Amino acid sequence: MKKSLIALATSATFAVPVFAQSSVTLYGVVDEGFNYTNNVGGKHDYELQSGYAQGSRWGLKGAEDLGGGTKAIFQLENGFNLNNGRLGQGGLLFGRQAYVGVSNATFGTVTLGRQYDSVVDYLAQTTANGNWAGYLFSHPFDKAMSQA
């Protein structure tokens, strides 16, 4: 009796709980541009422009391991105007992306909801500055783009 009680206490002490790994990531982009235009009706014009290159946004992205190489996934992404705080995409709280899905290492991913299309996923990376003009041909210090 004492031996089994000691064995039970010892195994309970060294037992390691096993939990499926889940993760939630908070991310964002704050993008503000400053425009200067000379000779606008004989004057200079200064302007702050929210979302000058990419569009200001914040979002939540997460996954829950379901086992067997399968994960439940989700993403909620908000777009907003940095100058006045207004929501973008027609005033929707998560107007940029809002989807849920299932991902499997062997079979791929299926998602349902509001999400970017294939143009954003595949073509934007091949354009000249990444903003529909790509990452392949532009250098960060190139004067070809007049963005501040």
Q: For residue 81, what pLDDT is reported?
A: 93
Q: For residue 130, what pLDDT is reported?
A: 53
Domain residues for 103? 19-29+56-126
Q: Is residue 91 part of a domain?
A: yes
- 3-class secondary-structure state, position 6: helix
Q: Is residue 142 part of a domain?
A: no
Q: Is residue 9 part of a domain?
A: no
Its pTM surpasses 0.75: no
**How high does pLDDT run on average in the chain?**
77
Letter string b/e over residues 5-44, b meaning 16 or more CB atoms within 10 A of that residue's CB: eeeeeeeeeeeeeeeeeeeeeeeeeebeeeeeeeeeeeee
Predicted confidence band at 104 (pLDDT cuts at 50, 70, 90)?
very high
Better-predicted residue by pLDDT, 38 or 127: 38
Q: Is residue 4 part of a domain?
A: no
Q: Is residue 145 part of a domain?
A: no
Domains: count for the chain:
1
The answer on pLDDT for 94 being more than 80 is: yes
